[in-house]
Structure 1
Amino acid sequence: MHGPEIVTTLLEMADDGQTRPTPSDAWHLFLSGLRQRFRLPSGRPLAVIAAVLIASIVGGFGAAAGSWAAERTFADLPSQARVEALTRQASPGDDYSYDRSTSAWGTDTTMGALTVSDWDPASARDRFAADGWQVTTVRDMSAGALAYTNDPATGSMTPLPVRGSQFDAVRDGVFLRVTGYVSPGHGTVSVMLWPDDTAAMLPLMLAGAVLGLVAGWMLAAAGAYRMRPLPAGRRRVATVLTGLAVTALALPAFAFYVNMTRVLGPSGSFVNTVHSALNASPYWSYSTPRMLLLLTVTGAVLAGAAWATMGRRGRSTPAADQIPTTG
């Protein structure tokens, strides 16, 4: 904006034969320019509030972008046929069922299940180990498991002993969990799979959040200076559009920050993500399946309209005695 004035001043201050700024002058110009990019117009408290809100929102979306980039490093889930083969590798059985679910908090999961009359978890674990899977020990899951049968003589429900077992396995970037609950003469064995953690989620999420916070503040500062020379009517339109955009984007950004706490907190073997808040699953019980995605698209359109309304920043005209002369 003040390029001609800066160049003219440097030319006037230059020593004879000097063709470029000294390292200290160049560093000073860089830091001063960077500080100017972050500076807000003085005496405008609403600009400060808007900058904090916009930086927070863009920071949330930056974390979601980092989360999305991290998910690109995850392995793909097995096909439906492969899931069935793995389920039958865990145990022979009948009445096979398949399901694939999309979460609003983490990666997709897929599952196969079979009904069985009995199940030997140690043998199942050995089969997966022989197939190249890295397996854990078998865990006892019997505590709290309940099953009942109807007693024809009394017409009452009689409790049955239930044996629950579980073990995990990892191979080719896929995490597999085998769980079985068996009571006398009846049981169910299920295999659930999801991508294994590649350790990329946390650093990329945090890097995206930091870059988003910085970019959001700079965007707000640039917008505040763009609005200063606008006519009153256009400035009001830009202000309203900006307020509507912030309102629409605030809820998705809040969901991203909630998901960030899930990524930072303990999650066991399941990989939580940030951007999954935009999945088709309802994020909250009172929300529609695509509410956050629709708010994101609406907010982005409103933000683009607000930026277009602000127009381009005008260039300052240098004073007459600052215009370089030739000849």
Structure 2
Amino acid sequence: MNTSWSTAAGGARLFARRARWWFALPNRRAVTVAAVVLVAVLLGAFGAAAGSWLGNRSLAELPDTAGLAELSQRATGIDETPVVSRKTSPHAAPVVAADMRIDTGWDAAQAQQRYAVAGWSVSPVVVVDDQASVLYPGDKTITRLPSRYSRFTAESQGLVLEVSGSFVADGGIVRLSAWAANSPAVPTLALTGAVLGLITGWLSAATMARRIHQANSVHRATVTALTATALIVLAAPAVALYLNLGRVLRSHGDTSGPIATVHSALTPGSYWPTAPMWLLPVLSVAGSLVAIIALALAVTTRPAHASAALSAAEGDWEMATGTVEASIAAARVNRDAAQQLLYLLTYPDWAPTSVDRARHRLISAGVPAAFLTTPDQSSSEGS
């Protein structure tokens, strides 16, 4: 009875151990696969950003201050220096603007005609007439004055201009906004970069996982912790990059505003309303540094069995070196030890030249020459 109970209990323990191993192995594999997929997704996002950056290089260059002054003069007919500003966005390509204040009224149709004569493709003028309430601080009275908002767009050589004027009575501001026209290179290169990033990330992560699997536990835990940290830190930038990629792949009209870009998410700016301007750039830099360290440690990983073999080989070498040094020390004071060492050094080539070379080496090591004479040499020296 007791024997049967012990046998059953032993079988149950063996089954439990094997069950734990059986269920733990798939879990480890699942975690590894999940990590490889996350790394691939991250590199896909940054690959899309790199492709978008390259595609943005093919867009038309925005005009400088002198160019904006010339375009503003054509829009207003006034030769004055406008107020120039540049606007960057974490969602789209940059925009440059020039503002000109006018106190004598402005005719948008005449400005449109000047651009058309200069070879620009212009859109119809949109005019909105309304009334504006003006408060006079002196007598605190409110007066309603006629207001007018006029707008048209012009396009030439990959550059889009939006010319608009906002006037109350005869005074107002004419604004000239310029951005690069859409280019098929941006979505094409962004999508290509995302695909290449996914493939590169998958292959790199799979190789890294295979290498650290053979490392010792401390090294493996260090690389795993650094990889997990990099994934957490780069999560927010990756989400922003994929959101921008979705905007890039949607259809976009040239006159509706600047083209969407992927890499612009990494420029300083408030990507989300409650997020600080530095959040995504700082997270990208910090996460990239951690990822580089993890990759360097994974590349330099030495398998545990290789480390053990190297340690054993180093121990054998040190033992062999100590044995040789002890043999030479004994040969310095004992003739028989010197003769045995000479025999070992010349084995199995006992030619006279080999023996002479070995004797000279031992003599240089401090072994007396008298201890290293053979019977033939002794008789020849005596005669």
- Normalization by structure 2: what TM-score? 0.67
TM-superposed CA distance for 1:134, in Å, is: 1.4
Q: Which stretch of the first structure deviates more once superposed, 175-184 or 229-238? A: 175-184
Identity within the alignment, %: 36
- Relative contact order higher in (CA < 8 Å, ≥ 6 apart): 1
| Per-residue CA distance 1:128-173 (angstroms, 9 max, x = gap) | 111121111112344xx66322368963322322221111111122
Instruction: Check if 1:123 corresponds to 2:110.
Output: yes
Q: From 42, 47, 56, give the equivalent of 2:32.
A: 47
Instruction: Check if 1:135 corresponds to 2:122.
Output: yes
Q: Is the 8 A contact 2:215 2:302 kept in 1?
A: no
Q: Which residue of the partner structure matches residue 146 of structure 2?
A: 161
Instruction: Check if 1:111 corresponds to 2:120.
Output: no
* Structure whose CA Rg is larger: 2
Question: Greater helix percent: which structure?
Answer: 2
- Normalization by structure 1: what TM-score? 0.77
Which letter maps to 2:171?
H
Say which SS state the counterpart of residue 271 (structure 2) adopts: coil
Q: Which residue of the partner structure matches residue 177 of structure 1?
A: 162
User: What RMSD over aligned residues (CA atoms) do the two structures have, in Å?
Assistant: 2.4
Q: Which residue of the partner structure matches residue 287 of structure 2?
A: 299
Q: Is the 8 A contact 2:47 2:195 kept in 1?
A: yes
Q: Is the 8 A contact 1:166 1:178 kept in 2?
A: yes
TM-superposed CA distance for 1:283, in Å, is: 1.9
| Per-residue CA distance 1:25-69 (angstroms, 9 max, x = gap) | xxxxxxxxxxxxxxxx99611011112211111111111111001
Instruction: Check if 1:198 corresponds to 2:188.
Output: no
Q: Is the 8 A contact 1:252 1:296 kept in 2?
A: yes
| Per-residue CA distance 1:222-244 (angstroms, 9 max, x = gap) | 11101111100110000000011
1:10-21 map, 5 Å = none
Q: From 268, 273, 276, give the equivalent of 1:288.
A: 276
Instruction: Check if 1:311 corresponds to 2:288.
Output: no
Q: Is the 8 A contact 2:241 2:265 kept in 1?
A: yes
Change (3 A) 1:152 1:205: closer
Q: Is the 8 A contact 1:103 1:281 kept in 2?
A: yes
For 1:211 and 1:237, locate their aligned partners in 2 and report how far apart those are by CA, in whole Å.
28
Q: From 59, 65, 87, give the equivalent of 1:80.
A: 65
Say which SS state the counterpart of residue 165 (structure 2) adopts: strand
Q: Which residue of the partner structure matches residue 344 of structure 2?
A: none
Say which SS state the counterpart of residue 87 (structure 1) adopts: helix
Change (3 A) 1:80 1:152: closer
Q: Which residue of the partner structure matches residue 3 of structure 1?
A: none
Say which SS state the counterpart of residue 161 (structure 1) adopts: strand
For 2:147 and 2:121, locate their aligned partners in 1 and report how far apart those are by CA, in whole Å.
27
Which letter maps to 2:115?
F
Q: Which stretch of the first structure deviates more once superposed, 182-191 or 60-69? A: 182-191
Which letter maps to 1:97?
V
Which letter maps to 2:285?
V
For 2:192 and 2:111, locate their aligned partners in 1 and report how far apart those are by CA, in whole Å.
42
The count of corresponding residues between Structure 1 and Structure 2 is: 275
Instruction: Check if 1:273 corresponds to 2:258.
Output: no
Q: Is the 8 A contact 2:182 2:253 kept in 1?
A: no
For 1:95 and 1:160, locate their aligned partners in 2 and report how far apart those are by CA, in whole Å.
29
Q: Which residue of the partner structure matches residue 325 of structure 1?
A: none
Instruction: Check if 1:101 corresponds to 2:84.
Output: no
Q: Which stretch of the first structure deviates more once superposed, 87-96 or 115-124? A: 87-96
Q: Is the 8 A contact 2:48 2:197 kept in 1?
A: yes
Q: Is the 8 A contact 1:54 1:220 kept in 2?
A: yes
